[in-house]
Amino acid sequence: MNAFTGMNLGLGALPLLSTARTRSITAENPTGAKGKGGMAIPDATDPELPHSRAAENLGQGWKVRPFLQPKAGETVTLMDVDGPGVIQHIWMATEGDWRGNGRACVLRFYWDEEETPSVEVPMTDFFAVGHDLFAPVNSLAVIVNPASALNCFWSMPFRRHARVTFTNESEKDLTLLAYQITYAETEVADNAGYFHAQWRRAVTDRNHPEYTIVDGLRGQGCYVGTFLAWTQLSDGWCGEGEIKFFMDGDDPFPTICGTGTEDYFCGSYGFPEVYSTAYAGTTLKHPGENGPPKWSLYRWHIQDPIYFQQDLRVTIQALGWWPDRTYQPLAEDIASVAYWYQQEPHGAFPDFPLLMERWPR
């Protein structure tokens, strides 16, 4: 029988005892060290202890430092631990209204002391929240609950070291950043890849309305998810385009070619209503009042991961209809997150867009 390894999770693995050690990092235990949680002593003069006054009559061991308050332009380190280990769950909550601070906050994950991040994504988009507009998500990999609870359950193994940072690029101080990162100190299998996530945004060109979700992946890997925050700039249905996976030297045609945008997100005949399932969903009900129509779409390849051995490029087309029922190429505002595992080192990411280039319409 195989023992628990930190990644073989699920009901069937729960009875398997293991030498793994569970740790959890919060503002109350910023190192996750054994026996070091809830040690802050109330001190009303210390701005780093925001609940000192509430706890002053109870003293040490109570709720003194439950969250951080990142200042404008500040980068804070959420996790900085030695391996080997596996991150199993991340929970975050910030100010209840993400408009103005969701995409202004950037998450970056660094594995094994690498110089460039393997994850570089605006906070809200990382958790399948598009356009900085709340919508509930009820899936296996990501859960978003009212009023601003962000959760992800992607397994993230690391061998020597893991570092996670949070940058507030807005012009305003954040009054609250609460978080919990739960991980297991455990051995990591030799064939385990490293988790990656990359954010992009572009307006498609009507002359060739193909949007690149990710490109430049090199080496052996496994593509596991797509999130799109799609803003319509044209009337009518926008989802006739196909998603395409160019892998292992494909040129000019892909190995995997879908049949339509809603089909890829496990729907049919457009998106007539919202749905959020274990592996796919369209979560945002925004038909266009107070702005253009917007969609938040996720597709997790958990049961059907896409393996590649040498390279991978993923694109999706933006197509609608002309009145004569021929395809209309569309100029659409699309932002995306691609999620995958791969061997390190990873290829260079595109330059991360400036804040003004990340604002939702």
DSSP-derived letter for residue 77 is E
Task: Identify the band that residue 14 occupies on the pLDDT scale cut at 50, 70 and 90.
Answer: confident
Domain count, the chain: 2
- Decide: helix, strand or coil at residue 46: coil
Residue 356, phi then psi, degrees to nearest 5? -65, -25
pLDDT tens digit string along 313-324? 999 999 999 999
DSSP-derived letter for residue 278 is S
Clarify whether residues 320 and 180 are in a common domain: no
- Decide: helix, strand or coil at residue 125: helix
Residue 2 pLDDT exceeds 70: no
Clarify whether residues 201 and 178 are in a common domain: no
Clarify whether residues 231 and 333 are in a common domain: yes
What does the pLDDT read at residue 288?
66
Clarify whether residues 180 and 225 are in a common domain: no
| Nearest of 88, 41, 75 to residue 169 by alpha carbon | 75
pLDDT tens digit string along 65-85? 888 999 999 999 999 999 999
pLDDT tens digit string along 103-157? 999 999 999 999 999 999 999 999 999 999 999 999 999 999 999 999 999 999 9
Residue 3 lies in a domain: no
Angle at 130 between CA 163 and CA 347, to 5 degrees: 45
What does the pLDDT read at residue 10?
83
Residue 238 lies in a domain: yes
Residue 273 lies in a domain: yes
Clarify whether residues 265 and 171 are in a common domain: no
Clarify whether residues 225 and 299 are in a common domain: yes
Clarify whether residues 303 and 343 are in a common domain: yes
Residue with tokens 């000192």: 52
What does the pLDDT read at residue 53?
79
Residue 88 pLDDT exceeds 50: yes
Residue 2 lies in a domain: no
- Greatest Cα pair distance, the chain, in angstroms, is 74
Clarify whether residues 198 and 341 are in a common domain: yes
Output the average pLDDT for the chain.
94
Residue 7 pLDDT exceeds 90: no
Clarify whether residues 316 and 222 are in a common domain: yes
What does the pLDDT read at residue 4?
67
Cα separation, 129 vs 134, whole angstroms: 6
What does the pLDDT read at residue 61?
87
Confidence (pTM): 0.96
* Higher per-residue confidence, 63 vs 196: 196
Residue 192 pLDDT exceeds 50: yes
Clarify whether residues 128 and 202 are in a common domain: no
What does the pLDDT read at residue 1?
45
Among 127, 161, 185, the domain boundary falls at 185
Residue 232 pLDDT exceeds 60: yes
What CATH number is associated with residue 140? 2.60.120.1390
What does the pLDDT read at residue 290?
73
pLDDT tens digit string along 280-307? 999 998 766 677 899 999 999 999 999 9
Q: Average the pLDDT over each of 59-63, 137-141, 346-350 and give the range with the smallest value.
A: 59-63
What does the pLDDT read at residue 259?
97
Residue 120 lies in a domain: yes
Range of the structural domain that residue 289 is part of: 194-357
Among 129, 159, 185, the domain boundary falls at 185
Cα separation, 85 vs 64, whole angstroms: 29
What does the pLDDT read at residue 301?
98
Residue 112 lies in a domain: yes
Among 165, 185, 205, the domain boundary falls at 185
Residue 48 pLDDT exceeds 90: no
Residue 202 lies in a domain: yes
Residue 332 · residue 206 · CB < 8 Å? no
DSSP-derived letter for residue 269 is S
